[in-house]
Amino acid sequence: MGKKSRRDRDVKEKKLKDEPARIKAVEVSKKKIEELGLSPEIEGIKQFYDVCDEYVNTGEHYSGKIELNGFKRVLEYILPQTYQTDIGLVLKYDKNI
């Protein structure tokens, strides 16, 4: 084991995404959803689009799950504040929906 460094380390502030970066990231995720054949008329997708619009306007971190009734899927999403993390979307199978 090495010695513990005694020097003071600078605490870096996390760089938050600005509005153009959030808009670009949301557009990419919406495009991927549409490529899967899920239209904005579906109630769960419409709800996700509303969350995305709120994310673009406020810049706050959002994450959650939305049930897609009739498709036996759950849309899990993560909308981060920082540049280090990309938007995460997962369509998980759930036989109970």
Would 5 be classed as within a structural domain? no
Would 45 be classed as within a structural domain? yes
Q: Whole-structure pTM over 0.85, yes or no?
A: no
Report the number of distinct structural domains present in the chain: 1
Q: 3-state class of 34 per DSSP?
A: helix
Would 13 be classed as within a structural domain? no
pLDDT in tens, 4-56: 777 777 877 878 888 999 999 999 999 999 999 888 899 999 999 999 999 99
Would 3 be classed as within a structural domain? no
Would 4 be classed as within a structural domain? no
* CA dist., res. 59 & res. 66, Å (int): 20
Task: Tell me the residue type at 53.
Answer: D
Q: Identify the domain containing residue 47 by its residue range.
A: 19-93
Would 7 be classed as within a structural domain? no
